[in-house]
């Protein structure tokens, strides 16, 4: 396992000295996770592996833009992997937004950096939160993230009224806000 | 009064589920509305935690070796340079600026507003920048599909409320609306409309054939 600090150290080592050993450690941890994540959403093994490889190569190229004060390594790599999945979908005739644009959105400008909730150890709290959500809430959240489905599509698929899906999302995000804001200065 | 987008829509956006044009509208709202941005940041942390929770599986060494070989000669890129607004388009955040074609110019449209049509991938939506002179109104119109409007300069009001810089309006809210620009500077907004739009006012109806042909 990699701690958030260890993962951030590895990305910084890549940025500082193109450290391939650091990359290999990061790759061993994240490439299988990205692959598994994509396969949950219905990707076949070959596609998932290709996206995982492309995403980790992007991590190498963009390492100097990583800022541990703004984003946990897991969040940053999740964002890159999601972009790669969209890029791949674009090749198969579903065009999408530029990867650079996504990274811009997830790298808030300096004036807001002190309020960023991505920084530091916050994902530990998110992991605690995930364990405490109701099964109904978790199902909707996982469908959105893993299967790349809008809340409208999720409501249709589950045969639920749109209002029910919206309220589950809002309850889950309310819990997320509380979890991330507790004890923060 | 700024109002962040509904959380379920921010989730659609953060999870990458939206089509490119609505995604662009949301990205501008998120860039300009601090509360929406914090929600998207939290959702990014949630995505990261979901990724981290995946099981720790052994890796095929050949896969790692192949990836390492692809890094040969692939330099780590220098950090992104700070965004410099484009002259004449100072109101356009970075994510929008790269969609505005070089040499883009405002084009007068029947009905008294100006437009720059943007070429965003995807056939289901029409994406435009609109500029409306202070105190002027867009022809009353009705949307049969979704509509996302993000105000980028100035402000406007319609039957649903008043919108300032960074605000996102989502349609169809009411059956018809007739946005009126605030006094002061011209109102500039990004508008993403699911095709087609139907004009409903006495003058607007006259334009419907043009709308259907994509002329306005």
Residues of A in contact with B79 (CB under 8 A): 64-65
Question: Is the pLDDT confidence value at B74 over 70?
Answer: yes
Mutate to test the interface with A, among B35, B39, B51 (most CBs of A within 10 A): B51
Q: Do A150 and B31 touch (CB under 8 A)?
A: no
Q: Do B121 and A90 touch (CB under 8 A)?
A: yes
List the end-to-end C-alpha distance of chain B, in Å, as a whole number: 30
Residues of B in contact with A71 (CB under 8 A): 44, 48
List, in order of start, the domains of chain A with CATH numbers: 4-109 (1.10.1740.10), 122-181 (1.10.10.10)
- Average pLDDT, integer, range A18-36: 96
Q: Could you give the ipTM of this predicted complex?
A: 0.87
Which residue, chain included where needed, has tokens 């509509």? B147
From the CA of A149, how many Å to the nearest CA of chain B? 5
Closest CA to A68 of A123, A145, A126: A123
At B92-125, the pLDDT tens digits run 998 899 889 989 999 998 778 899 999 888 778 8
Q: Can you give the C-alpha Rg of chain A in angstroms?
A: 17
Nearest to A166 among B8, B57, B58 (CB): B8
From the CA of B42, how many Å to the nearest CA of chain A? 6
User: Cβ contacts of residue A138 below 8 Å, gap of 6+?
Assistant: A130, A172
From the CA of A150, how many Å to the nearest CA of chain B? 5
CA atoms of A54 and B108, how far apart (whole Å): 44
List, in order of start, the domains of chain B with CATH numbers: 1-81+96-216 (2.60.120.10)
Mutate to test the interface with B, among A63, A74, A87 (most CBs of B within 10 A): A74
Which contacts (CB < 8 Å, 24+ apart) does range B66-69 have?
B66/A53, B67/A27, B67/A31, B67/A53, B67/A56, B67/A57, B68/A20, B68/A23, B68/A24
Cβ burial of A51 (10 Å; 0-12, 13-18, 19+) is buried
Which residue, chain included where needed, has tokens 């396992």? A1
Calculate what percentage of chain A has a pLDDT beyond 70. 79
Nearest to B45 among A23, A75, A102 (CB): A75
Q: Do A150 and B34 touch (CB under 8 A)?
A: no
Cβ contact B36:B207 at 8 Å: no
At B137-192, the pLDDT tens digits run 887 666 667 889 999 999 999 888 899 999 999 886 555 668 899 999 999 999 99
Q: Is the bond into B172 cis (omega within 30 degrees of 0)?
A: yes
At A57-80, the pLDDT tens digits run 999 999 998 988 888 899 999 999
CA atoms of B96 and B67, how far apart (whole Å): 33
Q: Do A105 and B43 touch (CB under 8 A)?
A: no
CA-to-CA separations, A179 to A133, A183, B175, in angstroms, rounded: 11, 9, 39
Closest CA to B198 of B216, B180, B186: B216
User: Cβ contacts of residue B193 below 8 Å, gap of 6+?
Assistant: B125, B126, B128, B143, B145, B146, B147
- Average pLDDT, integer, range B65-84: 91
**Chain B residue with the nearest C-alpha to that of A55:** B67
Q: Do A29 and B47 touch (CB under 8 A)?
A: no
How high is the pLDDT of residue A183? 56
Cβ contact A49:B67 at 8 Å: no
Closest CA to B165 of B144, B198, B189, B194: B189
Cβ contact B185:B172 at 8 Å: no
Quote the mean pLDDT of chain A: 83
Residue B161 phi/psi, 5-degree rounding, is 145, -170
List the end-to-end C-alpha distance of chain A, in Å, as a whole number: 29
Q: Do A72 and B45 touch (CB under 8 A)?
A: yes
Cβ contact B86:B92 at 8 Å: yes
* Count of A-B CB contacts under 8 Å: 209
Q: Apex CA A28: angle with CA A22 and CA A30, to 5°?
A: 100
């Amino acid at each position: 396992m990699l701690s958030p600090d260890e993962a951030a150290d590895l990305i910084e080592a890549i940025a500082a000295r193109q450290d391939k050993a650091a990359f290999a450690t990061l790759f061993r941890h994240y490439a299988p996770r990205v692959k598994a994540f994509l396969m949950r959403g219905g990707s076949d093994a070959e596609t998932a592996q290709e996206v995982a490889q492309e995403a980790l190569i992007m991590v190498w190229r963009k390492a100097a833009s990583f800022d541990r004060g703004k984003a946990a390594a897991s969040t940053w790599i999740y964002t890159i992997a999601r972009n790669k999945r969209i890029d791949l979908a674009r090749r198969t005739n579903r065009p999408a937004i530029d990867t650079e644009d996504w990274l811009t959105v997830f790298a808030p400008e300096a004036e807001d950096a002190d309020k960023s909730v991505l920084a530091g150890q916050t994902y530990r709290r998110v992991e605690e939160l995930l364990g405490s959500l109701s099964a109904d809430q978790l199902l909707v959240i996982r469908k959105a993230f893993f299967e790349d489905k809008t809340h409208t599509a999720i409501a249709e698929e589950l045969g639920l009224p749109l209002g029910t899906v919206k309220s589950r999302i809002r309850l889950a995000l309310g819990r997320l806000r509380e979890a991330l804001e507790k004890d923060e200065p | 009064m700024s109002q962040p987008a509904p959380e379920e829509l921010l989730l659609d956006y953060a999870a990458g589920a939206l089509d490119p044009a609505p995604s662009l509208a949301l990205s501008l709202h998120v860039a300009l509305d601090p509360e929406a941005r914090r929600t998207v940041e939290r959702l990014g942390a949630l995505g990261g935690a979901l990724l981290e929770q995946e099981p720790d599986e052994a890796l095929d060494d050949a896969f790692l070796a192949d990836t390492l070989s692809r890094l040969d000669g692939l330099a780590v890129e220098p950090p992104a340079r700070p965004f410099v607004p484009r002259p004449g388009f100072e109101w356009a955040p970075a994510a929008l600026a790269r969609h505005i074609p070089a040499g883009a110019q405002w084009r007068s449209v029947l009905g008294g507003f100006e437009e720059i049509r943007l070429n965003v991938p995807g056939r289901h939506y029409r994406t435009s920048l609109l500029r409306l002179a202070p105190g002027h109104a867009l022809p009353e119109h009705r949307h049969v599909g979704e509509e996302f409007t993000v105000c980028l300069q100035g402000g406007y009001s319609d039957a649903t409320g008043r919108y300032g810089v960074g605000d996102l309006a989502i349609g169809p809210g009411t059956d018809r609306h007739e946005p009126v620009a605030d006094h002061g500077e011209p109102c500039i907004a990004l508008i993403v409309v699911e095709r087609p739009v139907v004009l409903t006012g006495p003058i607007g109806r006259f334009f419907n054939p043009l709308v259907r042909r994509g002329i306005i």
